[in-house]
């Protein structure tokens, strides 16, 4: 039995957005590739192999001959063509259809520029061969193919039931599991799919995914053995984080997500990069992770977390201090950064903070321990800004939907932000701050930044591509600083390693359910591992 | 006649309440589909709004919700948009998009009803005897102890009692499960956490009610007639003394039966109490309206039932 966090909003792999939803959908539906439980990267799924053309633009996928839905119907290349066309069609209203922008013609369809779905650069060469033409060489394309939105879904069922096709009974599933039952706010029960191509590797015959909002309740259930896995950090009480991470059954790992804050660069005085840089220099990142978050987070000065697909992020504001190996060196470096910040602020016309208008820092509050941390981080920043720069920052906690709506409408001075990467490449972070990205929400537009990103997209050479991306990120986190990053997140999961195996730390936090199995003495694999029945 | 009038009044009142809910929840900033990550394109955003008719004017959304919106068909004829309140259809939840509001209520309500019902009986079961005892022993040590206890139950909120019960009786002693739902033993702790507060209120109301009844003249008369003290207390003072509890029962039961956010959350119980709070936070418009409708109906019906019970219990109350 797995505690899956919040109740799934939908399990339609094409329209879902939440992580709990994604874990269910990944168990039920598969695409050309699937996530490797160790690395979180895309490895062969319903396609057993693929060829890439020399220019890196054409992928030819070879489907498995035993690929089939749980109801027995075989899966052909035509099913992929139909599924992908539905996903990219704006009428489907798939939030994540941006993944198809990499495919030729995808952007034009997803943005509504054309409604001719057949212009998407995909084709079924024969029932077992599926060909994709890309806009640019996209080295992480096999990772994208493992995303839920790229999975194959049952055409006949969707055409019969429309939006509510996932409520079909039986629901034809292309993944390792099929849906047995779904009680909202209680649990989703999965049963192994006997027609899955890799049914032999599926560790548990039956799995219950519990949903609930209270981390304390989840922890209680785990401690009494009612739940075998806490699979997501959100179901682990953050107040106890520093105590729990020291237990042998709690595993903390680097996660592809960054905590930062945005400036509204359309408002004075934050339209001045010197002001933004001054603020970015004085925040005490180490203190925040050591005193407030306390689960092993790494302080960060760049947006892309370290280790993302081999990319080395640039040194952002305040980076010098983060290199310090002891507290004394850190204090010295922080003092130097503060002097530099005071100089920048004076240059901008606010020596010692005089004449600087009062401003607010907005963050989401309420709804559990995570949100309480936002407040503590705000208080910490407030103190730093007052002490080093003489600035008066007022804290403004708002409820989640108000936070989102004010952020989108640029109705703030400074606002908390965070971003979870989708795939292991820096563009999953850097694309957010393109001038026309809906996720930008700073008012910052830079033609140079946009130019560097599009040059990187067209660059086939990996080292040159990363150099271009690094140059763009330097602009973002050091020179222009429309955002200031604080730390990279950690992921956290809990299970008894004596009894279970198959969950591994990886950057994207992908823990496929099929890989979970009961440990048997002597290492033998157990085919019927579910002692999870209530 | 009186009750018939009340019954007739119930319908427009319910309609007024859900109309208010319908518009108020839409006034709040943000919408059901606002997320940290923006959709791939404005076209996707528009399609999503259109799918749930959020792109229409408020008036036409309201008419559609009622089931009173006529749409022009491609052939030029007019046809009523399907669904709507008049057909008993509350629509799909905007957050849990694979479930209809009625589905979620149908699944969670029996659980909340069971929990609330047992908590109600629990509250009456210990509140009335406790209140009665403290009233009879007014001024004595028993009164002092009992009243203090009742006050503690009222003052300590469920989010304190719940975890304390879990810590002592589930995690330490292992007598009861820490949460979830399914068997009788799952009911005990949440029922207690939920019922203590109401039991405390009931005890205080009973104490006041019985205390007043003991001062009244018919009790003195009964004593004078030579009835046994126990007989006076049980036959005359108690029925009159519990009248405040009866009138409190209506709102109390409505509160209990529609689920408790706090207790359901602490014990991870799949009732509807959690939806009550979360639906407004997540701007799940259809769900908010559905749950408000449920709560309003329960409150109105139970209040009516209380009035009916009043006229049966107290001969002085007459409705003509």
SS (H, E, C) A428-444: HHHHHHCCCCCCCCCCC
Chain centroid, CA A67 distance in Å: 29
* Cα(A209)–Cα(A494) distance, integer angstroms: 15
Q: B211 touching A, CB under 8 A? A: no
| Percent of chain A's residues with pLDDT above 90 | 91
* Cα(B27)–Cα(B31) distance, integer angstroms: 10
Nearest chain A Cα distance for residue B313, angstroms: 41
pLDDT score, position B71: 87
Partner residue opposite B43 with nearest CB, options A90, A166, A224:
A90
Which CATH number goes with the domain that contains B258?
Answer: 1.10.3720.10
A284 and A168 together in one domain: no
* Residue contact B179–A418, C-beta within 8 A: no
**Placement of tokens 């955002």 in the chain:** A483
* Cβ(A34)–Cβ(A140) below 8 Å: no
| Residue to test with chain B: of A25, A179, A208, A401, most B Cβ within 10 A | A401
Interface A:B, Cβ pairs < 8 A: 154
* Residue contact A184–B107, C-beta within 8 A: yes
* Cα(B239)–Cα(B245) distance, integer angstroms: 10
* Residue contact B265–A101, C-beta within 8 A: no
Q: Report pLDDT digits (tens) over A473-513.
A: 999 999 999 999 999 999 999 999 999 999 999 999 999 99
pLDDT score, position A534: 32
Q: What is the number of domains present in chain A?
A: 2
Residues in B 51-90 with any Cβ partner in A closer than 8 A: 51
* Residue contact A110–B44, C-beta within 8 A: yes
* Residue contact A214–B178, C-beta within 8 A: no
Please indicate, yes or no, if residue B291 is contained in any of the structural domains.
Answer: no
Quick one: residue A112, left, alpha or beta (phi over 0 = left, psi -120 to 50 = alpha)? left
CA atoms within 13 A on the CB side of A263: 27
Q: Report pLDDT digits (tens) over B85-123.
A: 999 899 999 999 999 999 999 999 999 999 999 999 999
Query: Which SS3 state, helix, strand or coil, does residue A522 take?
Result: helix
pTM: 0.91
A54 and A168 together in one domain: yes
Which residues of chain A are within 8 Å of residue B115 when distances are taken between CB atoms? none
* Cβ(A187)–Cβ(A210) below 8 Å: yes
Please indicate, yes or no, if residue A230 is contained in any of the structural domains.
Answer: no
- The secondary element (H helix, E strand) that includes residue A383 is helix A369-389
Residues in B 141-200 with any Cβ partner in A closer than 8 A: 163, 166, 170-171, 174, 177-182
Please state, in angstroms and as integers, the Cα–Cα distance from residue A89 to each residue in A93, A94, A349, following that order.
7, 8, 51
For residue B250, pLDDT over 90 is answered with: no
* Cβ(A102)–Cβ(A144) below 8 Å: yes
pLDDT score, position A306: 92
* Cβ(B163)–Cβ(A216) below 8 Å: yes
* Residue contact B98–A226, C-beta within 8 A: no
Q: Which pair of tokens denotes residue A253?
A: 């790992």
* Cβ(A489)–Cβ(A296) below 8 Å: no
Please indicate, yes or no, if residue B10 is contained in any of the structural domains.
Answer: no
Partner residue opposite B29 with nearest CB, options A91, A101, A401:
A401
A466 and A338 together in one domain: yes
* Residue contact B30–A401, C-beta within 8 A: yes
A264 and A301 together in one domain: yes
Contacts of A194 (CB under 8 A, 6+ apart): A70
Q: Report pLDDT digits (tens) over B153-211.
A: 999 988 899 999 999 999 999 999 999 999 999 999 999 999 999 999 999 999 999 99
* Cα(A274)–Cα(A276) distance, integer angstroms: 5
Please indicate, yes or no, if residue A155 is contained in any of the structural domains.
Answer: yes
* Cα(A429)–Cα(A488) distance, integer angstroms: 12
Please indicate, yes or no, if residue B265 is contained in any of the structural domains.
Answer: yes
A485 and A514 together in one domain: no
Q: B44 touching A, CB under 8 A? A: yes
A111 and A67 together in one domain: yes
A431 and A502 together in one domain: no
* Residue contact A98–B40, C-beta within 8 A: yes
pLDDT score, position A380: 97
Q: Report pLDDT digits (tens) over B13-46.
A: 999 999 999 999 999 988 999 988 889 899 999 9
Query: Which SS3 state, helix, strand or coil, does residue A360 take?
Result: strand
Instruction: Give the structural domain span for B217.
Output: 105-282
Q: Which residues pair with A103 in a beta bridge?
A: A134
Query: Which SS3 state, helix, strand or coil, does residue A129 take?
Result: strand
For residue A368, pLDDT over 60 is answered with: no
B102: closest chain A residue by CA: A184
pLDDT score, position A532: 36
Q: B270 touching A, CB under 8 A? A: yes
A261 and A199 together in one domain: no
Q: Which pair of tokens denotes residue B38?
A: 């923006």
* Cβ(B61)–Cβ(A117) below 8 Å: no
What mean pLDDT is predicted for residues A256-274?
Answer: 97
A338 and A268 together in one domain: yes
Partner residue opposite B44 with nearest CB, options A90, A182, A367:
A90
A156 and A128 together in one domain: yes
For residue B317, pLDDT over 80 is answered with: no
Please indicate, yes or no, if residue A233 is contained in any of the structural domains.
Answer: no
Q: Which pair of tokens denotes residue B125?
A: 């079961």
Instruction: Give the structural domain span for A149.
Output: 2-210+495-523
Q: Report pLDDT digits (tens) over A9-44.
A: 999 999 999 999 999 999 999 999 999 999 999 999
For residue A527, pLDDT over 70 is answered with: no
Give the ipTM. Answer: 0.88
What mean pLDDT is predicted for residues B283-295?
Answer: 94
pLDDT score, position B239: 85
* Cα(A109)–Cα(A89) distance, integer angstroms: 6
* Residue contact A408–B281, C-beta within 8 A: no
B42: closest chain A residue by CA: A111
Rg of the Cα trace of chain B?
25
pLDDT score, position A526: 41
A335 and A416 together in one domain: yes
DSSP collapsed to 3 states, chain B: CHHHHHHHHHHHHHHHHHHHHHHHHHHCCCCCCCCCCCCCCHHHHHHHHHHCCCCCCHHHHHHHHHCCCEEECCCCCEEECCCCHHHCCCCECCCCCCCEHHHHHHHHHHHHHHHHHHHHHHHHHHHHHHHHHHHHCCCCHHHHHHHHHHHHHHHCCHHHHHHHHHHHHHHHCCCCCCCCCCCHHHHHHHHHHHHHHHHHHHHHHHHHHHHHHHHCHHHHHHHHCCCCHHHHHHHHHHHHHCHHHHHHHHHHHHHHHCCCHHHHHHCCCCCCHHHHHHHHHCCCHHHHHHHHHHHHHHHHHHHHHHHHHHHHHCCCCCCC
């Amino acid at each position: 039995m797995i505690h899956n966090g919040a109740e799934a909003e939908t399990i339609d792999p094409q329209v879902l957005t939440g992580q709990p939803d994604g874990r269910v959908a990944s168990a039920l539906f598969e695409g050309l590739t699937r996530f490797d439980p160790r690395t979180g990267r895309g490895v062969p799924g319903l396609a057993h192999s693929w060829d890439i053309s020399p220019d890196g633009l054409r992928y030819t996928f070879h489907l498995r001959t035993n690929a089939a839905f749980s109801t027995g119907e075989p899966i052909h290349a035509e099913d992929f063509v139909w599924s992908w066309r539905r996903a990219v069609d704006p009428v489907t209203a798939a939030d994540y259809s941006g993944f198809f922008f990499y495919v030729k013609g995808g952007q034009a369809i997803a943005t509504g520029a054309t409604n001719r779905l057949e212009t998407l650069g995909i084709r079924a060469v024969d029932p077992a061969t599926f060909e994709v033409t890309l806009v640019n060489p996209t080295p992480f394309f096999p990772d994208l193919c493992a995303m839920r939105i790229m999975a194959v879904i049952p055409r006949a069922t969707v055409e019969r039931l429309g939006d509510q096709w996932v409520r079909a009974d039986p629901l034809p599933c292309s993944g390792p599991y099929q849906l047995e039952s779904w009680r909202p706010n209680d649990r989703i029960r999965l049963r192994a799919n006997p027609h899955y191509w890799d049914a032999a590797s599926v560790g548990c015959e039956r799995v219950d995914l519990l949903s609930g909002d209270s981390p304390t309740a989840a922890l209680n259930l785990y401690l009494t053995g009612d739940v075998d896995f806490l699979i997501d950090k959100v179901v682990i009480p953050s107040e106890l984080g520093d105590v729990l991470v020291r237990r042998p059954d709690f595993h903390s790992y680097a996660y592809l997500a960054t905590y930062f804050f945005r400036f509204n660069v359309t408002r004075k005085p934050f339209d001045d990069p010197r002001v933004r840089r001054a603020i970015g220099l004085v925040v005490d990142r180490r203190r925040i992770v050591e005193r407030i978050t306390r689960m092993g987070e790494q302080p960060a000065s760049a947006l892309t977390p370290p280790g993302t697909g081999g990319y080395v992020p640039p040194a952002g504001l305040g980076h010098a201090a983060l290199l310090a190996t002891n507290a004394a060196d850190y204090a010295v470096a922080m003092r130097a950064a503060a002097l530099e910040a005071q100089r920048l602020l004076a240059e901008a016309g606010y020596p010692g903070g005089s004449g600087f208008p009062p401003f607010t820092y907005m963050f989401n509050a309420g709804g559990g321990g995570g949100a309480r941390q936002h407040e503590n981080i705000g208080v910490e920043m407030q103190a730093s800004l007052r002490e080093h720069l003489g600035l008066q920052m007022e804290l403004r906690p708002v409820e989640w939907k108000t936070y989102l709506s004010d952020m989108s409408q640029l109705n703030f001075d400074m606002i908390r932000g965070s971003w979870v990467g989708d795939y292991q490449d820096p563009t999953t972070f850097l694309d957010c701050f393109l001038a026309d990205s809906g996720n930008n929400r700073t008012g910052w537009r830079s033609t140079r930044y946009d130019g560097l990103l599009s040059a990187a997209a067209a660059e086939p050479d990996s080292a040159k591509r990363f150099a271009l991306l690094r140059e763009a990120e330097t602009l973002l986190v050091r020179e222009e600083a429309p955002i200031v990053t604080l730390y990279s997140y950690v992921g956290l999961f809990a299970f008894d390693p004596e009894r279970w195996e198959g969950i591994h730390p990886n950057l994207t936090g992908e823990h496929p359910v099929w890989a979970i199995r009961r440990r048997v003495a002597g290492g033998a694999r157990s085919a019927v591992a579910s002692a999870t029945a209530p | 006649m009186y009750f018939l009038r009340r019954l007739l009044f119930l319908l427009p009142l319910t309609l007024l309440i859900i109309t208010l809910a319908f518009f108020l929840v839409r006034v709040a900033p943000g919408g059901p589909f606002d997320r940290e990550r923006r959709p791939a394109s404005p076209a996707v955003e528009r399609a999503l709004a259109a799918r749930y008719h959020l792109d229409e004017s408020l008036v036409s959304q309201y008419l559609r919700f009622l089931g009173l919106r006529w749409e022009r068909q491609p052939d030029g004829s007019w046809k009523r948009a399907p669904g709507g309140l008049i057909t008993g259809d509350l629509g799909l939840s905007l957050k849990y998009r694979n479930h209809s509001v009625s589905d979620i209520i149908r699944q969670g309500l029996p659980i909340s009803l069971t929990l609330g019902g047992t908590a109600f009986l629990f509250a009456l079961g210990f509140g009335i005897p406790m209140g009665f005892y403290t009233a009879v022993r007014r001024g004595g040590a028993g009164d002092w102890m009992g009243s203090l206890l009742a006050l503690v139950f009222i003052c300590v909120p469920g989010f304190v009692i719940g975890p304390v019960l879990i810590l002592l009786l589930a995690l330490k002693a292992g007598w009861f499960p820490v949460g979830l739902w399914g068997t009788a033993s799952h009911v005990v702790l949440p029922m207690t956490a939920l019922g203590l507060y109401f039991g405390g209120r009931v005890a205080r109301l009973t104490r006041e009610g019985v205390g007043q009844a003991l001062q009244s003249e018919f009790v003195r008369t009964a004593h004078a007639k030579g009835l046994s003290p126990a007989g006076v207390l049980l036959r005359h003072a108690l029925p009159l003394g519990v009248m405040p509890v009866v009138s409190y029962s209506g709102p109390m039961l409505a509160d209990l039966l529609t689920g408790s956010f706090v207790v359901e959350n602490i014990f991870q119980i799949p009732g509807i109490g959690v939806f009550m709070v979360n639906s407004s936070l997540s701007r799940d418009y259809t769900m908010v309206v559905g749950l408000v409708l449920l709560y309003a109906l329960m409150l109105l019906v139970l209040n009516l039932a209380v009035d009916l019970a009043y006229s049966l219990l107290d001969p002085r109350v007459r409705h003509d």
